[in-house]
Amino acid sequence: MERATTSRIDVSQSPYDLTTFLGRLKHFAWVTDPRLTFISTKELEASKNLLQKYQKGEEDPNITPVQVRRAQQLYLSAYHPDSGDLQNVCGRMSFQMPGGMVLIGAMITFYKSNSAIIFWQWANQSFNALVNYTNSNATTEVNTKRLVTAYVSATSSALIVALGLKKYLSTRASPLLQRFVPFAAVSAANAVNIPLMRQSELIDGVTLMDENGNDVIKSQYAAVKGISQVVAARICIAAPSMTVLPTFMERLEKTRLLRRYTWLGGVCQVAFSGLFLLFTVPAGCAIFPQKCSISSQKLSILDHKRVEELREAGKITLPETLYFNKGL
């Protein structure tokens, strides 16, 4: 349920209750709307400036609450929550539907030849790598060498899984089962791609904050928790279109229309993929809170040395609950 409007809007908070799945679903449907991809940089900057002025109480008196909320929507869709930097258009979650529909549609259409598998899996994992980098936690410095190594490893893993499964199933499985090879490859690659593209967080830890947003400590445990949740969410986003569509298209392609116009098969798969992603992108993002919380007691699992060093130096008193941006 949307919160009641007060005389001043708290633009640091979503208009929806992010403590519930339904509230998060509404929030992410709001900020991942594919139409936001086509907003100009000029309009995005104007929205950012309006929010900055509004927070200082310096906005034009004729500005309405609707305009403030619109500016908030545009800002959340395009700017990184940690750094405040404008994100690459293709890496934004609002681009997941238009970008993903082409790639998923192509992967489940062109799965029979090795050359097609290599190209589309490479294209998909390159896109995923950009999305993973764009939506990572920005409190950890990214090492360029690590990033290049991660990209090569992630794309290679997708190709190995896809080609390996294709070879194995080609003589052992039905044509229908072979249609699920792209999903198996995407799932396996996501489990590799996301941790590799965000390995700086796993190595150096992410910054944990108290409830007031003050930096407290870096944590590797938080990085593991956040990245694990992102991997699960991304697989859930891709799963419906890559598991339901192969069965549906297997039947549809037997109809008289698609037997006559074979090119319609690819068009249908791209279009249906887009319809699925329109719903699964906000739903997948909503599974786990973006502002993730952990108990300070959990830091003993991977961060006990860092905690003890700070305690011995008398520099830290850990709050009971700490928070961080897990990324999307």
Q: Which tokens sit at 108? A: 């489940």
CA-CA distance, 220 to 216, in Å (whole number)? 13
Residue 76's pLDDT is 92
CA-CA distance, 126 to 151, in Å (whole number)? 7
Nearest in space to 322 (alpha carbons), one of 201, 225, 232: 225
DSSP, res 136? S
Residue 140's pLDDT is 67
Residue 142's pLDDT is 67
- Do residues 137 and 323 touch, judged by C-beta distance below 8 A? no
Residue 139's pLDDT is 66
Q: Where are the alpha helices (DSSP H) in the chain?
A: 21-31, 41-56, 65-78, 96-109, 114-134, 144-169, 175-178, 181-197, 199-204, 220-252, 256-260, 263-286, 304-312
Q: How many CB atoms lie within 10 A of CB 261?
A: 10
State pTM to two decimals.
0.82
Q: How many CB atoms lie within 10 A of CB 99?
A: 22
Residue 295's pLDDT is 84
* 311-318 long-range Cβ contacts below 8 angstroms, 24+ apart: 316/216, 316/217, 318/216, 318/217
Handedness of CA 45, 91, 211, 4 (dihedral sign): positive
CA-CA distance, 161 to 211, in Å (whole number)? 43
Enumerate residue ranges in the chain where pLDDT < 50. Answer: 1-6
- Do residues 68 and 5 touch, judged by C-beta distance below 8 A? no
Residue 10's pLDDT is 87
Grouping H, G, I as helix, E, B as strand and the rest as coil, residue 207 is strand
Residue 183's pLDDT is 74
Residue 30's pLDDT is 94
